[in-house]
Structure 1
Amino acid sequence: MENKKSVTIHDIAKELKIDSSTVSRALNNNPRVSAKTKKIVQDKAKEMHYQPNNLASNLRTQKSNTIGIIVPHITKYFFSTAISGIEEEAHKAGYNVIICQSKDSEELEAKNINTLISSRVDGILISPAIKTSKIDHIETAMKRNVPIFFFDRYIKGIETTKVITDDRTTSKELTLHLLEQGIQKLGVLAGDTKVSIYDNRVKGIYDAFKESGLNTESKLILQQIKLDVDDAHDAINNWVQNKVTFDAIFAMNDMAAIGAQIALQENGYKVPDDILVAGFSNEPIAKLVSPPITTVHQPAAEIGKLAAKKIINYIQESDTSILASETAVLKSELIIRASTEKKSTT
């Protein structure tokens, strides 16, 4: 079988009888080359099936034009949407992406970072794992001059750029909405409050109670769970069996809200007539269950786009110190649906 040699810029230059430097500039869209010459060179490169040698270029510039992304779970709607936003912005700027998932494991997250460093990425966008308690692996990467920016979740104590949503504010708005329905006791299914997003959402609940002049000790029950359908289902069953009283549920993601709603219905409760149910994150399925679930829409794609813009700007900026510890907060939106709207008794 014939071993075909790769086409180089010198081959294109020879065909067109022009300098190799002109071919290189034309292929890199250099403004010093006329539009007419660019087209001639690019057409010839396409005709000859030219492929740029990115490895050689990367060795010269010490840039890979690649961003690493680490998310807890690729299959979750929020993260898959955020990844799409990152990819869109990265590709627009001429960057590739490498996607890893930690599965909410600190050990796997550390391996992901090492893999991305070995792949010579120019920067890493990460939403940290729930289990992450140490920060050595992140600090090691940053000491190697690989910038790490957080999106959605973040780790306190690490000075870097964060792109997040107003979790505390929207959690407060959702809680106020539930309290305005005249509920007597709120049951909260929270995630691990060592994680920034769940910590902020719990703080938002307390803010709402304080603003309403209510005592959380008598009006609030809070349990930290895994925040999936099964764990939420089990938590509600346990509350019912142990005769824990509540007339509204605030689950800190929509899958947990769905699990809670199913458990309530299986135990003979009507939603929302007997018990209100609210979630968070606006999963597509949340509006398809019966009744559709009140939730909070987070701008996942916009978070991804902004995080990508910021890390690319950081990579390309000669004086990066101005971007070292910025926090960008995007607004979320409360979406009220039938699961929290009691039928009028008048």
Structure 2
Amino acid sequence: MERKKPTTIHDIAKALNLNSSTVSRALNNHPRISEKTRLMVQKTAKKLAYQPNSMAANLRKSSSKTIGVVIPRISRHFFSQAISGIEETAYAEGYSVVICQSMENEKREIRNIDTLISSRVDGILISPAIGTKSYKHLNQIKERDIPLFFFDRYIEEVDASKILTDDFKIARQLAQHLIDQGCKKMAVITGDRQASIYRDRINGIYETLKENGFNMESQLLIKETELIYENGEQAIREWLKQGVEFDAVLGLSDMVAISALKVLQEEGIKVPEDVMVAGFSNEPASALISPAITTVGQPAYEIGQLAVKKLLHFLKEENPMDAHEIAILKSELIIRESTIRTK
């Protein structure tokens, strides 16, 4: 006979159409929860035979003074800067940091999470892999009463606090800059649009082009691919081989923008006179090549700092499963020679 799984706060939340955080507060008699909601939750908990996980609660109280961090790739400039912010802030507060790389792979990310849970970290900061399509391992973190915070990227289906940059807004500014410099047909190289950062950036570009009267079918090209150097090069070569015309290339990472610039120069196409090139994330190399590439500077170090501060505040406040906060930090449009056309 199969043993019935114990009821969790997520089961209660689903039954009442509430957030897990609200259920957790109600069960702990939090003052922010109304009497009506508290009684409703407690009645449903009793009906579903909910039993608090005292072992998890005790483990939570016995702090390991360790924070787990899962990132796609530490080699990326953004994430190396974010890790610096995380480690510096955690160290100042007496915490150690365990860093795991998913390499944009869901199975590896799941293994990372299992390792961190087994290590009894006090909380987990994660920028999900683009390859992540299921969320069971992320919800498992919360079921273990371990605080979960997203940074840079997030997954809408998972109820957790988020520390993000203004991808939608800054993408609008970048697209408008290209239009102001005379762009009539834009070629965009993006990552998987199921990932929050690329979805938000593409949405910002779409909105700006529409406001400026662009026809999405005839004045916009989109190539969706993994944003590595070789793929940017391949996208440009394919478009040129097909005889497709465009006067601006917008790579949603600097690496594909740099490779696009290289191909255009090899083909005798002048940048920015014939085709403008812009990127994203302000990789150091984007300022060193000629012409230097217009890009977006993101506050990666500050994101890391803020993520740790919010996690530690969460732990000190002892307010489990409070998962509604969204912090959005401002990015910077860095205009360089690759998109400045002489009037």
Shared fold, TM over 0.5 = yes
Tell me the CA shift for residue 319 of structure 1.
2.5
Task: Find the counterpart in structure 1 of residue 47 from structure 2.
Answer: none
Give distance in 1, aligned partners of 2:60 and 2:278.
54
Give distance in 1, aligned partners of 2:283 and 2:304.
17
| Pairs within 5 Å for 1:91-170 | 91-170=91-170
Secondary structure class of the residue paired with 2:217? helix
| Pairs within 5 Å for 1:293-312 | 293-312=293-312
Tell me the CA shift for residue 60 of structure 1.
11
Structure 1 residues 60, 86: CA separation in 2 closer, same or farther (over 3 Å shift)? closer
Tell me the CA shift for residue 214 of structure 1.
2.1
| Pairs within 5 Å for 1:272-283 | 272-283=272-283
Tell me the CA shift for residue 213 of structure 1.
2.4
Structure 1 residues 215, 118: CA separation in 2 closer, same or farther (over 3 Å shift)? same
Give distance in 1, aligned partners of 2:220 and 2:76.
29
Task: Find the counterpart in structure 1 of residue 227 from structure 2.
Answer: 227
Say whether residues 1:208 and 2:242 are aligned partners.
Answer: no
Secondary structure class of the residue paired with 1:314? helix
Secondary structure class of the residue paired with 2:218? helix
Structure 1 residues 60, 273: CA separation in 2 closer, same or farther (over 3 Å shift)? closer
Say whether residues 1:261 and 2:270 are aligned partners.
Answer: no
CA contact (8 A) 2:185 2:247 kept: yes
Secondary structure class of the residue paired with 1:187? strand
Secondary structure class of the residue paired with 1:175? helix
CA offsets 1:106-126 (integer angstroms, 9 cap, x no match): 000000000001111000000
The gaps in structure 2 that reach 5 residues or longer are: 1-57
Secondary structure class of the residue paired with 1:259? helix
Task: Find the counterpart in structure 2 of residue 64 from structure 1.
Answer: 64
Give distance in 1, aligned partners of 2:98 and 2:279.
31
Give distance in 2, aligned partners of 1:163 and 1:75.
21
The gaps in structure 1 that reach 5 residues or longer are: 1-57
Say whether residues 1:74 and 2:74 are aligned partners.
Answer: yes
Q: How many residues align?
A: 286
Secondary structure class of the residue paired with 1:217? coil
Tell me the CA shift for residue 343 of structure 1.
2.3
Give distance in 1, aligned partners of 2:86 and 2:253.
22
**Aligned-pair Cα RMSD in Å:** 1.4
Tell me the CA shift for residue 325 of structure 1.
1.5
Secondary structure class of the residue paired with 1:125? strand
Task: Find the counterpart in structure 2 of residue 237 from structure 1.
Answer: 237
Give distance in 2, aligned partners of 1:110 and 1:61.
25
Give distance in 1, aligned partners of 2:297 and 2:179.
20
Say whether residues 1:328 and 2:339 are aligned partners.
Answer: no
CA offsets 1:6-63 (integer angstroms, 9 cap, x no match): xxxxxxxxxxxxxxxxxxxxxxxxxxxxxxxxxxxxxxxxxxxxxxxxxxxx989511
Tell me the CA shift for residue 288 of structure 1.
0.3
Tell me the CA shift for residue 320 of structure 1.
3.6
Task: Find the counterpart in structure 1 of residue 90 from structure 2.
Answer: 90
Structure 1 residues 110, 327: CA separation in 2 closer, same or farther (over 3 Å shift)? same
Give distance in 2, aligned partners of 1:96 and 1:290.
41
Task: Find the counterpart in structure 2 of residue 180 from structure 1.
Answer: 180
Tell me the CA shift for residue 210 of structure 1.
2.0
Secondary structure class of the residue paired with 2:174? helix
Secondary structure class of the residue paired with 2:68? strand
% same residue: 51
Letter in 2 for 1:254: D
For structure 1, which segment, 206-215 or 332-341, has the greater mean C-alpha deviation from structure 2 after superposition?
206-215
Give distance in 1, aligned partners of 2:62 and 2:319.
17
Secondary structure class of the residue paired with 1:97? strand
